[in-house]
Amino acid sequence: MQRFLRNPQQERWEFQLRLKTLWGLIITLCVLLLARLVWLQVISHGYYHTLAEANRISIVPIVPNRGLILDRKGTVLAENNYTYDLEINPARNKNLDRLIDQLSELVTITSSDRKLFRKALDETHGLSPVPIRNRLSETEIARFAVNHYQFPGVDIQARLIRDYPLGTSASHLIGYIGRINEADQERLDDAGLTDEYRGTNHIGKLGIEGHYEHELHGVTGSEQVETDASGRGVRSLSRIDPTAGDDLFLTVDAGLQQAAEKAFGDHRGALVAIEPGTGDILAFVSEPGFDPNLFVEGIDQDNWNALNNSPDKPLNNRALRGLYPPGSTVKPFMALAALTLGKRTTAYKISDPGYFSFPGSSHRYRDWRQGGHGMVDMHLSIVQSCDTYYYGLANDLGIDAMHDFFSEFGFGQKTGIDIDGEMSGLYPSTEWKKKRYKQDWYGGETVISGIGQGYILTTPLQLAQAVATLANNGVMMKPHLVHAIRDRATGSVREIAPENERTLPLKQSDIDFVRDAMEDVMKPGGTAAQAGAGAPYLIAGKTGTAQVVGVRQGEKYNEGRTAERNRDHALFIAFAPADKPRIAVAVLVENGGHGGSTAAPIARKVFDYYLLGRGVTPVPDNSNAGDDSAHD
């Protein structure tokens, strides 16, 4: 290798060359750097500007207050109340177990509280405060407040919680809200409401809470918050206030509702009371009920098991979803069908031997009264609920004519009530049977359909609508539960107008005839005379019994010997005052036996409450209605 730096001149020249070379490199690199900076700051400026804004601004949802649910007189059925939770900030406490032990000396902390705390702690990774106890009592709040200074990082948090002050009353009607689950979220996503529900944890699940979710929820507000890199809000940039959900005024009268529930006593069953002229539902009972408050924060396992495994099925909405044979409550409608279709005159009489049989057949379709009712015309057939009369009538009408006529009254169809999950029931026809069972229709099936047995299934709501339509002289109103919606922001109230479903082509004289007969049902000699006794207003009613288990040929149904759960269901439909109906009801008492003895008295109490005023329930003087009237 040659030696450098020998000649000072050459050495200088070489050094200068190297300086110049490097300076050229420096300028090249600077140009490169500048090109990069121009690309970032001029060409891509818009893109990075957007990223910077997105970095610093986050939109925080502000959840609106849920609308209230009130009855038609303003009694609160669902409201939002403050509840107080005890929260632990895990970042400020090292030994959580010891801390919880110390806290448990001040407030009750169960092992399930601890379990839930651990679970929530894992989910939040210890980044945010986690509740250790929900819904502190007043004394617990006071006790903790005094000792607060000993527990840094433990605080009481207030939040709004849905509260159903009436508890189990009207639970099936009001429904409840619960935490949004995956299925709810999917539905919200499909409906494009994902953003609207950002920040909302609860959603209406059932009843009014479910059906009117849109009105009750309100409009979510938002706040633009400048956040730092760790996501902490630094300051508010702008705010759009949320709009509280609408308040709903129900058609239901809470007092009437509670009176009806009380009237059921220990019985299971359902009652729907409708104002015939409007379709307003005045009471909507399914007994037993449940406490919707249990569901708001997520029901615990014990309560869930108790509700779900109970043989009384308290979660089952019997009024909306219970399917029962209507039994003899179809008879007034059968009579109307006969008159309308010209198959019977009112004067036409049959001689009732206690059974009906087809010519040349030994099979007997028995009347409930052994030996029969003697000579029976249409009036008496309703008053005494003569089965034989209707066996023959059904045979003459034919199932398809019956199907068409009953469909007009809403049998086999949803009423379209404003809560979800309604069952449509069933009124059979030859076509239906062909489709469903690929079988021909038998004459015997028509005969038993005449007394509301066989394939026919109705919900108590359907029955109530049918009787309300009858009471309203054939003008069918759509049953509904909400009669007014109050906009919380403006305070303006929007009334929901009654909806006329259809007007049935009935003759007023026929309707009047059937009503007269139904009035006599409630009078001595009628099947519900006991329940009708002493009423200072006119009641038109009809009892019914629905078989739970079939009674074989030649056997007699014996209530005493039949297991309670296999006893017949008792039914009763009625409206009052009969001359100017203000309320129509359908009552079903599961395994209640006879409509006249168990279902009708419940209706009577409801009528008394509604027509005579709160708490006024005159003791009916027990007139001698006769043994028969106790039967169907």
Partner 1 sequence: MPTIKELRQRFLAPLDPTLFNTCLILTALGLIVQYSASGSDLAKVLSQVRNLGFAFAAMWVMAVTPPYKIERVVFPVYAIALVALVAVALFGEVSHGARRWLHLGPMRLQPSELMKIALPLALAGYFEWRGKAISWRDFVVAAVLLLIPVALVIRQPDLGTALLIASSGFYVLYFAGLSWKVMGGLLASGLASLPLVWHLLHDYQRKRILTLLDPTQDPLGAGYHTLQSMIALGSGGLVGKGWLQGTQSHLDFLPEHTTDFVFAVFGEEFGLLGELVFLVAMLVIITRGFFIANEGSTPFARLVAGALSMTLFTYTFVNMGMVSGILPVVGVPLPFLSYGGTSLVTLFISIGILMSVHHHRKLVKQ
Catalytic residues: 328
- Positions 210 through 269 that interact with partner 1 (CB under 8 A): 226-230, 234
Contact flag: residue 619 with partner 1 (CB under 8 A): no
Smallest distance from partner 1 to CB 51, Å? 5
Contact flag: residue 494 with partner 1 (CB under 8 A): no
Termini Cα distance of the chain: 128
Of the pair 229, 497, the CB lying nearest partner 1 is at 229
Of the pair 1, 563, the CB lying nearest partner 1 is at 1
Smallest distance from partner 1 to CB 59, Å? 16
CA–CA dist 224, 64 (Å, integer)? 16
Q: Which residue has the tokens 């979660």?
A: 315
Contact flag: residue 22 with partner 1 (CB under 8 A): yes
> Exactly one of 14, 186, 241, 559 binds partner 1 (CB under 8 A); which one?
14
Q: Residue 547: how many CA atoms within 13 Å on its side-chain side?
A: 16
Q: What is the 3-state secondary structure (H, E, C) of 446-481?
A: HHHHCCCCCCCEECHHHHHHHHHHHHCCCEEECCEC
> Exactly one of 13, 24, 29, 135 binds partner 1 (CB under 8 A); which one?
29
Contact flag: residue 437 with partner 1 (CB under 8 A): no
Instruction: Return the closest-CA partner of residue 529 out of 516, 518, 545, 514.
Output: 518
Helices (H), 39-149: 45-56, 96-103, 111-124, 138-147
Span of 7-15, 500-508, 519-527, 577-585 interacting with partner 1 by CB under 8 A: 7-15
Contact yes or no for 258/167 (Cβ under 8 A): no
Instruction: Return the closest-CA partner of residue 225 out of 207, 247, 240, 243.
Output: 240
Amino acid residing at 317? N
Size of the site for partner 1 (CB under 8 A): 41
Angle in degrees, 0-180, between the axes of helices 399-408 and 387-397, rounded to the nearest 10: 100
**CB neighbour list of residue 26: distance below 8 Å, 6 or more residues apart:** none
Contact flag: residue 9 with partner 1 (CB under 8 A): no
456, two tokens: 């026919």
> Exactly one of 13, 24, 30, 146 binds partner 1 (CB under 8 A); which one?
30
Contact yes or no for 571/456 (Cβ under 8 A): no
Of the pair 55, 407, the CB lying nearest partner 1 is at 55
Of the pair 37, 145, the CB lying nearest partner 1 is at 37
Span of 11-19, 418-426, 502-510, 622-630 interacting with partner 1 by CB under 8 A: 11-19
- Positions 402 through 421 that interact with partner 1 (CB under 8 A): none
**CB neighbour list of residue 357: distance below 8 Å, 6 or more residues apart:** 363, 364, 365
Span of 24-32, 123-131, 138-146, 277-285 interacting with partner 1 by CB under 8 A: 24-32
Smallest distance from partner 1 to CB 23, Å? 6
CA–CA dist 602, 521 (Å, integer)? 16
Report the Cα 203 to chain-centroid distance in Å. Answer: 13
Smallest distance from partner 1 to CB 91, Å? 18
Smallest distance from partner 1 to CB 192, Å? 29
Of the pair 15, 442, the CB lying nearest partner 1 is at 15
Contact yes or no for 58/231 (Cβ under 8 A): yes
Contact flag: residue 18 with partner 1 (CB under 8 A): yes
Contact flag: residue 28 with partner 1 (CB under 8 A): no
Query: What mask of x and - would describe binding to partner 1 in positions 35 to 74, judged by CB under 8 A?
Result: -xxx-xxx-xx-xxx-xxx-xx------------------
Q: Which residue ranges make up the site for partner 1 (CB under 8 A)?
A: 1, 3-6, 11, 14-16, 18-19, 22-23, 26, 29-30, 32-34, 36-38, 40-42, 44-45, 47-49, 51-53, 55-56, 226-230, 234
